[in-house]
Amino acid sequence: MTTNATPAKLSDGSWGARTLGNPSIGDVLTITTSGGKSWKAKVVSILRAARSPGDYATVATQSLVPNPGRSDQSLADRGLVRVNSRRGSYIRKMDAQERFDEFDM
């Protein structure tokens, strides 16, 4: 069984969760934003325990699902290159010459 929680900005700048009651380390939370996005995360430490019934605990969490918007691969490993222009930066596929130059070190 998972417990419902909301995202919480922690004092060190990272993100954790706020949940009703006192979860234990290792418990799985379902974190849901006000916009409706949700994901599962595991409690790794308890930063502030609930002091009474109906009080909230603040916990540090570790996501159980990797963020699909991020990757361990670099742009070059995926055949992409970042281009900076006057209109801003964007990412595009490398052309054949750029791929060759990437390995010509």
- Model pLDDT, residue 49: 93
Domain with 22, as residue range(s), is: 3-63
Cβ 39 vs Cβ 17: under 8 Å: no
- Model pLDDT, residue 19: 95
The answer as to whether 37 is a domain residue is yes
The answer as to whether 29 is a domain residue is yes
The answer as to whether 84 is a domain residue is no
pLDDT digits (tens, 9 = 90+) for 5-64: 999 999 888 899 999 999 999 999 999 999 888 889 999 999 999 999 889 999 999 988
The answer as to whether 57 is a domain residue is yes
Domain count, the chain: 1
The answer as to whether 77 is a domain residue is no
pTM across the whole model:
0.60
DSSP-derived secondary structure letter, 97? H
The answer as to whether 11 is a domain residue is yes
The answer as to whether 91 is a domain residue is no
Of the pLDDT bands very low, low, confident and very high (cuts 50, 70, 90), residue 87 is: confident
Helix (H, G, I), strand (E, B) or coil at 28: strand
User: For strand 56-63 and strand 15-20, is the pairing parallel, antiparallel, or unpaired?
Assistant: antiparallel
Instruction: Identify the residue with better confidence: 84 or 28.
Output: 28
d(CA 91, CA 80): 7
Q: Which of 53, 103, 94 is nearest to 75 (CA)?
A: 94
